[in-house]
Structure 1
Amino acid sequence: MQWLKSLIFVIYIYAFMAVWGILCFPLLLHPKGARWTCGRYAAHVLWMARVTLGIRSEVRGTAPTGQVVIAAKHQSFLDIMIIYNAVPSAKFIMKRELIYTPFIGQYAWRLGCVPVNRGKRGQAIAKMLADVKKGAAEPGQLVIYSQGTRVAPGDYKPYKIGTAAIYKETGFPCVPAATNVGLLWPRKGILRKPGLAVVEFLDPIPPGVEKSAFMAQLETQVEAKSNELMQELGFDAQSHIASGT
């Protein structure tokens, strides 16, 4: 029964994305309209997950409101929804190819998300900062997934040095963010499991920390807290790694 409900839920949220995106398309004339549209979509997905699948969501720590880099653990689509719903003006670092994705691309562009090409990240960040400074874009919370992709609970992928480069280029504080959502809403497959999905914002890392020290602090804090959050759901990440399962 849970699998069937999960299948219906998955079909629904993507169909609703298309319908909602079309209905609200005129709001793309202004960034605030795009932000409202995406905010209502994220809130609706979280509500539907709770009432149909029993997936409750919770934000812990202090959600940032100023100009910061949020370096987040990424396990599934759910952590994107929770983060977007938690902060006032999220802008995601995204692969440039995604800007051409129907609905997602148009709204991401209007939100001020930063599409980057490999090797041209600095140009994209510089343009974003210049646009904010001259009033052509609004300040916000720049979200980057430091491992570069969704990572299943218990799996390990190295943290990419691009996070340190963006942290240095912006001069913003960096707020690490941990999560356990992959245990309930996996990156692959249909089945969604009931439980408490958490994104926790950790203490900011102030500007000016040297690159290697910054990367070590970021990875240590995010991985430790994510493992702790997953243990609350009965998952022992260390045992998973040791057993190779």
Structure 2
Amino acid sequence: MGIYDIEPLGLEKIRTYPLATRKSKVSVRDFVKPHRRGTTVAEFLDSLPRILAADDLRAVVGAILRARARRKAILWGLGGHVFKVGLGPVLIDLIRRDFISGIATNGAGLVHDFEIALAGNTSEDVEAALGGGAFGMAEETGLYLNEIAVGAHRSGLGMGEAAGKLLTSGRLRVKYPESSVLIAAYRAHVPVTVHLAIGTDIPHMHRSADGAALGAATHHDFRLFCALVKQMHAGGVYL
């Protein structure tokens, strides 16, 4: 006998029921089908479990296909990592096949795709560069991206469109145009909106930075993004 005034609850009156009568959320009918050599992507998608995240993925694919069929906006919101981990070619393919109506990214996304277009590499070693004050000091990145902002401000453009315009102008030696989402989107007339926060991106530390131009260019893109969102009404998709 314990010292407590309360005793553990007795389970003698618990009522059970046959497992076969219970409504369950998971069935073997929903299980994954192992991959077979020669199957298509559509067959692979259909083979995934019809449970939780896999079924969510299937729902996303269906929503995108319906939006495309209805000619509704399919908007993609992307951070810098999507570009720097090498997914640009997938986005470029989707642009060409009319699965992207607009791309919204931040300053890091602009930096990474611009450097990829220009030099074929991006994402510096922060730990190695920070202590000596060299982080973010690549000359071309700061110079050209700030030039883009100034040009956008003067021309009444946003950062995304102005970046695509400069990269395709022939003024710069662009070594890897086929790997740039900015270039593919510009050529396809797919809007790219760049949503800056002043002081968060490496070009803002360069002497060529113009706060008024950066603010005006990114505000233009904000308003352009709002217009794109309006096109999502009644069947659009935002990822």
Fold shared per TM-score above 0.5: no
Q: Which has a greater percent of strand?
A: 1
TM-score by length of 1: 0.24
